[in-house]
Structure 1
């Protein structure tokens, strides 16, 4: 009997883990870290409902932390199978997982040194050595080529857009075909390919991050330029919390377009994130995975001053002149951007510009909802800067684009499972699927088991 169980990403946009079980064989699709609300983050410390050693394989759709960030702990707790991913996903995961382990170690050390943690001592969920160990279990899979998984299953990856290396996962097992969307990207993205259609599936597992929303229309480059122009005119700095992989590179593309058009000629642009710098360089290594010609790729990568060392980052914060600062993390949950926010969020001349989805419980969501102070490193920081949201820059398909991808199936599946979304978003997508496609759709609860 083939079953599907969501061990994460059910009723929330984080912690994606979807388990296929056939007899005594288990395949986990994605292995994400819970982020955001405290009650979700605490789930990272709870044991999985199944023993990690009983999982035969992990299929990784892409490398973002909410899909890959639990892998080091899974391996440390006993997983010994293979982790199947595209080549670019492996390379991006190497950056993200090592950075995650490093940051957790640093955050724990900082909390212990400053004494603001409730835990004595504060400990990381995992460290950089755990991340390095997890990377040893990766097996590289090419797009469009079927590969055999343990227990007789077959896997095929197709382009999903979203970020470099991202894929949808088509798994055929026990006479059933299940299509996992992972995270779907935008159509007509200037950098990444459109989400590739999947023509047939008995079951579909689809994300719903923007299941109840459509992205704001308009020219992204122009909107970005307008925000920078008005901030600079009042002598301010634009701080952009950005996901180091995907969003940072998209921002560089639009900044390059502004520079090419003769704008921002005297405005310094800083990419203050070692991981984002490394991820940008991966565009050259994986040219077949994106649309950019080599010469444009090179120009984009050269539009900003790269800051790798801590002293350089501190110098940016101390610089009183107008500038653009791109720094991780994208939801202001950690990383160097927190130090910039402590300085720049307090001044009404500046702008904090968000560039993607902000999960519940994150500082980014709080600020966009009007919070006038945020807690950083145990201290309350007043928020006086202008706040804006460049929602059209999101790397996630919106509700209409999710429906477009679903409409690419040649016949209706037996059922659609709607995951990776807040309750309202998932339910809105379920209603649209029922109304427009006439398909049976369900929104799984955490740990709910479905027979396929």
Structure 2
């Protein structure tokens, strides 16, 4: 008998971990970090409801931190199995996990040096070295290739869009088929392939990030151009907190299109994130996983000035002239973007552009909700800059697109599990699934177990 238990992303939009068990073997689908609110982040320090050594394999849908970021900790706690992913996901995970370990080491060191911690000493959840060890457990599979593990579990990756290498995963085990959506991308995206539907499943586990919302259909390039021109005209700098993987490359593409159209003049564009720079390079390594031609990829990604070194990053803030600064992280939870926000947020000439989903408890969400000050590095920084947002740049399917993907199944599954969403989003999608598709669906609670 199979059981399903969500160890994360149940009632929240972060920390994706879904455990499938048959009584003899245990397989984890995704292994993400909790982010955002403090009470969620603290869950990263708690042991899972199953010992790490008892998990036989991990199947990873994509490399974003809320889906992959707990892997080094899992290995550190005793996991000895394989981590299965697409080749591009493995390469992106290398960037993200090493960076995550490095940032956690730096944050712990900062707190200890400045005596800003209640712990003695503050510790990193895991280190960059722990991330390297975890990467040694990866085994890659092609899209649409059937892989057999643990004697009788078969799985297959299909394109999900969203970011480079992202997949939904079909698992056939014990006579049942379970499909995990991962994070579903947008249809007709300029860079990523359309999400591929699955025809048959006994059970579906679907994300609901935008389960109760629709994206604006404004042309992203036009919206980005208007905000940039308005900022430059008043002598300001446009600061964009950006996810290093996916969003940064999309922004560069649109800025390239704007420059091609003769807009923005010679205003410099800085990509100030070593990880985003490396992720941009990966686009050329995995040409089969996105829509750009080699020539377009080469030209689009020449549009920015790349700043890898810390001193070059600091020099941006010493530059008084109008410019565009794209820097990680996308929800302003850490990284170089914090230094840019400290520098540019107080000045009303500048604009902070939010270009993606902002989880509860993050500085990005605070800005989206009109915060007049942000706490950064222990200091309160006034926010006088204009705060703008472009929802059309989201890498997640909206409610209509989620229903479109689900409508690809020929027959209703026995049950649909709605995960990876804040409560109102998950409940909104549950209601729509029942009303429009007539399916039986449920929003699981953390650690709630279901017999399949």
TM-score range, shorter chain: over 0.9
Matched, 1:206 2:206: yes
**Aligned counterpart, 2:381:** 381
Shift of 1:318: 1.4
**Aligned counterpart, 1:400:** 400
State how 1:303-314 maps to structure 2 within 5 Å: 303-314=303-314
How far apart in 2 are the matches of 1:265 and 1:110? 40
**Aligned counterpart, 2:238:** 238
* Residues 369-416 of structure 1: per-residue CA shift (max 9 Å, x gap): 011111011111111100011110000000000000000001110000
* Residues 333-365 of structure 1: per-residue CA shift (max 9 Å, x gap): 000000000010111110000110000000000
How far apart in 1 are the matches of 2:119 and 2:325? 33
**Aligned counterpart, 1:140:** 140
Name the SS for the 1:126 alignment partner: coil
Shift of 1:151: 4.6
**Aligned counterpart, 2:68:** 68
Matched, 1:161 2:161: yes
Shift of 1:264: 1.6
State how 1:409-424 maps to structure 2 within 5 Å: 409-424=409-424
Q: Which moves more between the two structures, 42-51 or 113-122? A: 113-122
**Aligned counterpart, 1:47:** 47
How far apart in 1 are the matches of 2:280 and 2:172? 34
Name the SS for the 1:333 alignment partner: coil
Shift of 1:114: 1.9
State how 1:342-361 maps to structure 2 within 5 Å: 342-361=342-361
Matched, 1:96 2:96: yes
State how 1:324-343 maps to structure 2 within 5 Å: 324-343=324-343
How far apart in 2 are the matches of 1:350 and 1:151? 58
**Aligned counterpart, 1:259:** 259
* Residues 18-61 of structure 1: per-residue CA shift (max 9 Å, x gap): 00010121000000000000000000000010000000000000
What residue ranges of structure 2 are gaps of 5+ in the alignment?
Answer: none
How far apart in 1 are the matches of 2:44 and 2:330? 20
Q: Name the TM-score, length of structure 1 as normaliser.
A: 0.99
Q: Name the TM-score, length of structure 2 as normaliser.
A: 0.99
Shift of 1:214: 0.4
Shift of 1:117: 2.2
Structure 1 vs Structure 2 CA RMSD: 0.6
Matched, 1:26 2:15: no
Shift of 1:227: 0.3
How far apart in 1 are the matches of 2:410 and 2:219? 33
How far apart in 2 are the matches of 1:445 and 1:300? 44
Judge conservation of contact 1:25–1:151 (CA < 8 Å) in 2: no
**Aligned counterpart, 1:110:** 110
How far apart in 1 are the matches of 2:242 and 2:283? 17
* Residues 414-435 of structure 1: per-residue CA shift (max 9 Å, x gap): 0000000000000000000000
Judge conservation of contact 1:244–1:328 (CA < 8 Å) in 2: yes
Shift of 1:300: 1.1
